[in-house]
Each structure stands twice: as C-alpha cells, then as structure tokens.
Structure 1
Amino acid sequence: MGNDDKTVIIDSHDELLFRDIIEYAYDGLVVVDKEGYIQMLSQSYADFLGVHQESSIGKHVTEVIENTRMHIVAKTGKQETAELQKVNNNYMIASRTPILKQGKIIGAVGKLLFKNVSQFTALSKRIQSLENELKMYKGVFHERNKATYMFDHLIGNSTVFKDVKDQAKKVAKSDSNVLILGQSGTGKELFAHSIHNESRRAMGVFVKVNCAAIPTELLESELFGYEEGSFTGAKRGGKTGRFEAANGGTIFLDEIGELPLHMQVKLLRVLQEKEVERIGATGTIPVDVRVIAATNRNLEEMVAIGEFRLDLFYRLKVMEIHVPSLNERMEDIEMLVNYFLEKYQKIMKIRVRGISDQALHLLRGYSWPGNIRELENTMERALNMVDDEDVIESKHLPGDITGNHQAVSIRPLAKVLEETERNAIIACLRQLNGNKTETAKKLGISRTALYEKINKYGL
C-alpha cells in the first residue's frame, strides 16, 4: 500500500493466498462473468462434478455444470436461494447470487450448500429434533410456571367485588409486594394470576409455591436451592430454587401463614436484600422478583401469639387485598352459576337450558362455607345428577343446600368411606377456621397427606 493513496496492490502470492482461503472456506464455489463464463471453480466443486479444475476455467458454465442456472442469474440479477439442481443423477442444493459493481451486474457466484438432498434432510431432521427438544423443555417449564387467569376470569358485578378488582388492577401497575387475604375458596390465587398478567412482568414466569404442601425439611432447598455436595443426596450440579427460577417475574407464596418461623427469617432477608443464598454456597445471588403472598389465616393474630414475624408481616403487606367471601357478594350468585354451568356443559358434553327459580332461590339462601369453590363443585354435581331434564332443579342440589336429607341408598363401601373421610375433613377445617396444620393434627395425619386429600376431594 502506498503512502499517498488507498490503492491496494495484490501480487501473485496474495492472489494464491486468496484462492487458498476460498478453497478452505467453501466446499463448493463457482464464479462466472456476466456472460456466464467460469472465472473461478473451487477444487472441491470440480471433484464433485468430476471435471478438471484448471481446464474448466474460461468455459461457459453450461458446458461444465449440468442443469446450471448461473448464466441466467448473471443475466437477470435475481438471486436464487437453496434451489434443487439435478447433477449426475442426483439432486444437490445450491444458492446463486449476482455480483454487482457500481450498480451493474458483472457476474454471479454460486455456492454448493448440500451435495445431495439426504445431507439436507439429515440436517433438517437434526435441527427439528433439537427445536422440538428445546420447545419441550421450555414448554414444560413455562407450563408449570405461567399465570393462567386474567381479570376477565374474575366473575361478579357486586359493588364489593368490583371495588376489590379495581384495587387489584391498580396494584398490578406497581412492583410492590402484595398480600392477598380471604377465606378458603374465594379465588385468592386467581387474583394473584391476574395481577401478574396485568403487570409489566407479564412476559416473565409466574412461579407458584404452596408453603403448606412442601415438607418443612425441604422448604429451604425448594425456595432457595442448594450447591452440589452441600448435603448427602444433593444432586450433581446443585439445584435452582424457586426464587431464582422466578427471576424477572413473580413468585406466588400461597398459604404463607403455614411458613415455619425459621423460614420466615430467611424469607425476610430475601425481601430486604433482593438476593438469595443457596444451601452450601459461599456467596449470594441477586434476584429481581415480585412477591405475591396469600393466606386464609389471620396474620395479625398469629403475630400477637408469636407464630408470625411482625417485620415479615409488614414487609409483605405493602399492598393488601381482601377478597370477599361469597356470603358478602350474594348478588353475584346467578352470574357465577351461569358461568359454571356453561363451563361444565362444554367439558361434560351435557346441555341444559339453565336453572329453575326455586333452585336459584335455594342457592341464594345457603351460607356457602366453601365459597366459590363449593359453588363450582355444586354446579358440576348438579349436571351429573340431570337425567332427561333440561333445567337444573332443586332435586339436583345436595341436601346441605335443600335441607332434604334423604335416606342413603346402598352403595359400595369404598364410596361411603371416601364420603365419610371428605365430610370429616370439611367439618374439621370449618371448626378450626381453615387452619390446615391444626386440622392435620386433629385428624392424626401429616400435613402433606391432608393436602393430598384436599386435592383429591376438590376442597
């Protein structure tokens, strides 16, 4: 290169080096001028075609490459990408691109992508396999960690319910911690889903944790994870905790009132410092997580008797939402009934015209200790009881609602035992105001077993 200009002079050695680079970088390459005469042909391409490389230079491309379209691309200037071309009784895949200089076509370059279709098919299958595997893993993770419900799924027109929805929508706009209070079955989790989906974190994950369903000895590793070799049985590579998994999104801590005191201390540190420490780790991991907690217990009473930390209580209740019981919004009964009937008619492939006035009157007069969840189960049961009728009548409702307790017909013993067990759990939960820890103790079973039975019976 000279000192006074930008001219680049390529000597014969540089040209050979350039050709060597081309040979190394490309398996199959051909360059033609604007008339279609070959200016360059890589050795690998010549070997594939079964022609002599040097003697092919200067020949028209149609004399060297069977069924070629290089001369056409050099003439039209239209690029052709990944086109099939039959050569030597086989199909290869090639791309052809025009060469422009100052806006004018001066030739074309062709690139052999695959020497036969089977190469392309094998690669395509491999890519598809990897994509499917990735989708599966991502799908499983997001399926387990996504918010399903929106505010549109929160059914009701009563003033008290609309006020709570409006409050929740305002809460969704911030990043502050949220404490959702309400009786069992009122829809606290639906509110948590909706707040996440309405927030700026909606594209992030929504990790759900039932604090009462995880055995106490596993809570710390589930929430915060652990390092490899931190304890006997720790799996290779360690484990990511739920808070780490929720990074950039929302973590929903259901049944927060069941969290043991020693775990409350660790949770408080996470909320204050915005970082987690895995079991066995020597350092901390920063996390950007919004916390939504929920409980049907009276946390203020628990604070007073020393079962819940005051500092954690106030850290959680930055934004507090009280979800009303069904008893407080009885004017929503008809709307909810119609919603559940439509939902389960689609699932069960049963059609009814609606519900009778008498049956609706009985529903409005019932106390609904199980709230929305109990009403939903009642509507599903009613559809199961319908025979030839096309309207839900009072006879299709359970005796607790109608007050008509008929003699029990003879049924399989297993069914009787299941119903007895279900009723015993319901009665104990009501007596203990929904306290599942005390209920498990009274019934003489573990808390995990109690939750399994609650899920089994849809309580």
Structure 2
Amino acid sequence: MLNVPIKCIDLILEQAGVIAITDKYARYIFVNKMWQEHTGISEEYAIGKNTHDIIEGSRAIAAIKSRKVITADIFIKKKDGTNLPGVMTYYPILDDEDVVGCFIYSSFESMEQAMSFSEKLESITAEYEFLKGEMRKRSGAKYVIDDIIGESDAMKMLKEQIYLAGASNSTVLIEGETGTGKELVAHSVHSCSLRNIFPFVKVNCSAIPSNLMESEFFGYEEGTFTGAKKGGKKGKFEIAHLGSIFLDEINQMDLTIQPKLLRVLQEREIERIGSSESLPIDTRVITASNVSLREMIKRNEFRNDLYYRLNIINIVIPPLRNRREDIPLLVDHLIDKISDKMGRDIEGISNKALEYLKQRDWPGNIRELQNIIEKAMNVARKNELTLADFRKIESFDSINQTPIYMQKENLLSSSDEEGPAATLMNKKNTLEKDTIIKALESCEYNKSKTAKMLGISRTLLYQKLKKYNLDSVNIH
C-alpha cells in the first residue's frame, strides 16, 4: 500500500479537475467541489443516485459493463435541461476481475477549452507530419515498403521480415540473386525504421577502388595527402550518423578494408585518415550480396568474424522464378512505369504473352523482366504487348548478344545438333553452356581468366556455372 496521507489524497481529488466516483451500479458515491460547481448539483442530492438520472448522456454504466475506458464523451446536460460544459472520460475501476465502480474525470472546464486544445493538437500534428516528410525526402531513401510489388506468400513473408528489421537497430544482411531488388529492400528497411528522418547513405563496394575505400568510408583530415580537400572530408559512415549506411555488393569489399569495418561495428567509432582522434558514430549498417558469403568464407575471400557481425538479421529475397504468381502484377506495374517514361500508351499485355513470361526462368529476375518489357514496348505497333513482340526481340537478342567468336565456331553446329524441334531458347542455352566449358578448358579452369575471356564479371560467371550445373567443376 502507498504511504500517502489521506489529506494528500483529498487535496488531489479536489484539485485535479472535475471528478466523480460511482459504485458498480453507476450510483454516485463521491463528487468533488469542482463537479458540484460545474453541474450546480449538491453532494447531498447526488450521492446514491444513478448517474443517468442526473446527467443525460452519462456513459458510466457503459464503461462498467464493457470494462473499457470511454474517452472524450460530451458532458451534455442535466435532467432539468440545463447545458453542462466539459468533456468526460469514464474509467472502470477493477478489483482483480471484478468491476467495483467507475471513475469519472474531465480535464477540460469547458467545451471551448477542449476544442481549443484539439485545434492546437491538430495543428502541431500537421506541422510534425510535414516536417517529418521533408526530413524523409532529405534522408536519401527513395523507396518504401509499398513500392515492393507482389502478393505471393513469399513476398508477404519478405515484407514481414522488413517490418521486423525496421523495428530493430541490428545489422541487416540482404541476400538475393542479381536483379531481385536488394536495394529496394534496403531502402524499405530504413524507411520503416525510427531512423527514417536521418540520412540513408548508399555505397556500392564494387565501384570504389580498393586504395580509396578507407578514405571513402572513414574520411580524411586536411593535408593528409597530396590533393586532399581543404578542411578534410567526412566519410560515408560519418555522413550517415543517426541514419543508415547501405553497403551494396559487400562481397566485393577488399580483404584489407574488412578488419577496419569490423572494428567500426564492434567499437561504434571511426578514425579519419591522418587523425588519431576517434569519432563516435551511431549508424545502422545494412549490407547486400548477390553471392553466398558463406561460400566466399570457404574460399578465404571473406572474413568469418565480419560475416557474423553483419548477419544478425538475414533477409533472403526469393528469385522471380519462385514467385511466378507475382508476374502479372509486376508486368502491369512495369508497363505503367515505362509507358510514362517513353510517352507510349500501352494499355496492357495479351494472355498468350503473359503466359510466355510466366514460363521463363528469369535468371536476371525483375531487372531482366523490366528489360524485356521495355524492349517489347519499343517494337510494339499496337497498344497491347503481344507474343509476337516478345518473339521478335528474342530473335534479335539471339543474334546481337552472342559474341562473334561464338557465332563463328558454334552457331551452325549447335543448330544441327539440336534439331528442328528444339526451341530458340534451348539453342541459346546450349550454345552458352558449350562456350563456357570451352573457355574454362582454355583458361585451365581459372575463373578470373575465364570471366575475362568471356567478357563478364566473376559474379556472373558463378551464376552461369550454377545455372548449367558446372559449379562442381574444379575452378579456382
């Protein structure tokens, strides 16, 4: 029991506002002086009487029966017709599971006062929402979770993961194949977090030369090296203070910078190049990779300890082939988006064309889908995309995207071997697989040399090897 003097409780009940208390039958057992002044009803007259017998519109009995608080009910008038000012709130009084009474309270002495408070609150709320919106615009986050298109079970689960990640401050590792929308997910995580009014800074690790990574990430002091900016330069982590930093293609981060990133995650501080002073930072780290970091660890290409620091919340984006039921929604969205950009009036897509798109494997995922939709819109002669439009661009691609040496050495022989019943796509896949095998053999199974010979990145080579079940080949 609280050690509060009875006198103190009496003073609170008299001075805290318009207060009345009823028993479990909604009969008055206490009314304070302010209640008597505002109602013009004496304590002697009120005690023992039912609330609705005195105050028309009283909600005390409703609060008791529902066991719920009823707020902002208007204190209407007495039985004699006299108007009463004020806005009342009814609190059921519970003793364990039993309702033993009702506490009636008004924090406003008049309706004018209540309306004035409401107007001020609405004005403050509107101003807050405006300023929050402006801060979000400046934060750098371009997308929100509503920009993620899809109603499949896989996408519903993905959106739930994003909401959960938004409610946390832990590091996030986003994994998914090329073109699945990892950047969109990263923006969405930031947008639905409490950091959304602060900076969202994106860094593409594959686009920064290894010798510049440290200065880009952590900044430098004036005079640190020839050509250094006067006054020094803030690094990306410092710019993202209080917000989020998105390290895209973290798998491309040089091994020499990885231990420095690990220190930032552990100590929550950075050091500019040329400075011995540590700067504390509060930055949430979100990373993305289109290859398995676990496999890179096995090949000694990524630090094990850094991986565990980054992989607190793991979000895996499903490839498009695993959620084909979302393709119609994605196609409609992309047609609207690209039509605006191109100034075309494409109204939709034929059923046959849509079925064709749903049957493809989509190794490039949504980015590939967007690419082929835009290509089809460039050759379309009607206001609806047809199967003929996609067949046309498929035939163009098969010629234009095949390297010259592949055309010379393999095109005719591959066509003869496949026979007339083979589809154009099967021929293209067979041709690509044979070319990769020959390149591997020519380069003695060295992946870097093979990728260079084929004119593609190592990451894309890994994807091709997996696609054609060649990933077990002993390459290095």
Given the two structures, how large is their TM-score scaled by the length of structure 1?
0.58
2:372 matches 1:362: no
Measured after TM superposition, the shift of residue 398 of structure 1 is: 5.2
- CA contact 2:201–2:246 (8 Å) conserved in 1: yes
Measured after TM superposition, the shift of residue 405 of structure 1 is: 6.3
Match of 1:390 among 383, 394, 397: 383
Q: For this pair of structures, how many residues does the alignment match?
A: 292
- CA contact 2:270–2:281 (8 Å) conserved in 1: yes
Aligned to 2:195: 201
Find the aligned partners of 1:440 and 1:231 in 2 and give their Cα distance: 38
SS in 2 for 1:260: coil
Aligned to 2:224: 230
Match of 2:317 among 281, 298, 323: 323
**Cα gap change, 1:336 to 1:236, in 2 (>3 Å):** same
Measured after TM superposition, the shift of residue 352 of structure 1 is: 2.4
Aligned to 1:184: 178
Q: Which runs of 5+ in 1 are unaligned?
A: 1-138, 409-415, 451-459
Aligned to 1:169: 163
Aligned to 1:151: 145
Find the aligned partners of 1:361 and 1:146 in 2 and give their Cα distance: 38
**Corresponding letter in the other structure for 2:370:** E
**Corresponding letter in the other structure for 1:166:** E
Find the aligned partners of 1:275 and 1:207 in 2 and give their Cα distance: 17
**Cα gap change, 1:222 to 1:407, in 2 (>3 Å):** closer
Aligned to 1:115: none
Find the aligned partners of 1:308 and 1:154 in 2 and give their Cα distance: 30
Measured after TM superposition, the shift of residue 229 of structure 1 is: 1.3
Q: Which moved more, 1:344-353 or 1:185-194?
A: 344-353
**Cα gap change, 1:224 to 1:142, in 2 (>3 Å):** farther
**Corresponding letter in the other structure for 2:312:** V
2:261 matches 1:267: yes
Find the aligned partners of 2:455 and 2:262 in 1 and give their Cα distance: 30
Aligned to 2:288: 294
Measured after TM superposition, the shift of residue 355 of structure 1 is: 0.6
Find the aligned partners of 1:158 and 1:194 in 2 and give their Cα distance: 18
1:330-341 equivalent positions in 2, closer than 5 A: 330-341=324-335
- CA contact 2:249–2:287 (8 Å) conserved in 1: yes
2:338 matches 1:344: yes
- CA contact 2:136–2:197 (8 Å) conserved in 1: no
Aligned to 1:215: 209
Find the aligned partners of 2:140 and 2:397 in 1 and give their Cα distance: 44
SS in 2 for 1:397: helix
Measured after TM superposition, the shift of residue 392 of structure 1 is: 0.5
- CA contact 2:218–2:238 (8 Å) conserved in 1: yes
Measured after TM superposition, the shift of residue 315 of structure 1 is: 0.3
Query: What CA deviation, in whole Å up to 9, does each residue of 1:276-328 have, x standing for no partner?
Result: 01111011111110000000011011111211111100000100000000011
**Corresponding letter in the other structure for 2:386:** E
**Corresponding letter in the other structure for 2:177:** Q
**Corresponding letter in the other structure for 2:452:** K
1:270-281 equivalent positions in 2, closer than 5 A: 270-281=264-275
Query: What CA deviation, in whole Å up to 9, does each residue of 1:46-102 have, x standing for no partner?
Result: xxxxxxxxxxxxxxxxxxxxxxxxxxxxxxxxxxxxxxxxxxxxxxxxxxxxxxxxx
Aligned to 1:442: 452
- CA contact 2:136–2:196 (8 Å) conserved in 1: no
Aligned to 1:242: 236
TM-align CA RMSD = 3.3
- CA contact 1:216–1:260 (8 Å) conserved in 2: yes
**Corresponding letter in the other structure for 1:395:** A
Aligned to 2:61: none
**Cα gap change, 1:445 to 1:335, in 2 (>3 Å):** closer
**Cα gap change, 1:439 to 1:155, in 2 (>3 Å):** farther
Given the two structures, how large is their TM-score scaled by the length of structure 2?
0.56
**Corresponding letter in the other structure for 1:233:** G
Measured after TM superposition, the shift of residue 353 of structure 1 is: 2.7
- CA contact 1:378–1:398 (8 Å) conserved in 2: no
Query: What CA deviation, in whole Å up to 9, does each residue of 1:82-124 have, x standing for no partner?
Result: xxxxxxxxxxxxxxxxxxxxxxxxxxxxxxxxxxxxxxxxxxx
Find the aligned partners of 2:452 and 2:300 in 1 and give their Cα distance: 21
SS in 2 for 1:335: helix
Measured after TM superposition, the shift of residue 354 of structure 1 is: 1.1
**Cα gap change, 1:399 to 1:365, in 2 (>3 Å):** farther
- CA contact 2:293–2:302 (8 Å) conserved in 1: yes
Match of 2:375 among 375, 381, 387: 381
1:424-439 equivalent positions in 2, closer than 5 A: 438=448
1:299-314 equivalent positions in 2, closer than 5 A: 299-314=293-308
Q: Which runs of 5+ in 2 are unaligned?
A: 1-133, 408-428, 438-446, 461-476
**Cα gap change, 1:398 to 1:311, in 2 (>3 Å):** farther
- CA contact 1:177–1:291 (8 Å) conserved in 2: yes
**Corresponding letter in the other structure for 2:350:** S
SS in 1 for 2:337: helix
Find the aligned partners of 1:223 and 1:258 in 2 and give their Cα distance: 14
Query: What CA deviation, in whole Å up to 9, does each residue of 1:352-379 have, x standing for no partner?
Result: 2311111111101111011000101111
Percent of aligned positions with the same letter in both sequences?
A: 45
**Corresponding letter in the other structure for 1:442:** K
Find the aligned partners of 1:191 and 1:183 in 2 and give their Cα distance: 13
Find the aligned partners of 1:204 and 1:440 in 2 and give their Cα distance: 44
**Corresponding letter in the other structure for 2:390:** L
1:80-91 equivalent positions in 2, closer than 5 A: none
Find the aligned partners of 2:237 and 2:362 in 1 and give their Cα distance: 36
Aligned to 2:277: 283
Find the aligned partners of 1:147 and 1:440 in 2 and give their Cα distance: 38
Find the aligned partners of 1:239 and 1:280 in 2 and give their Cα distance: 11
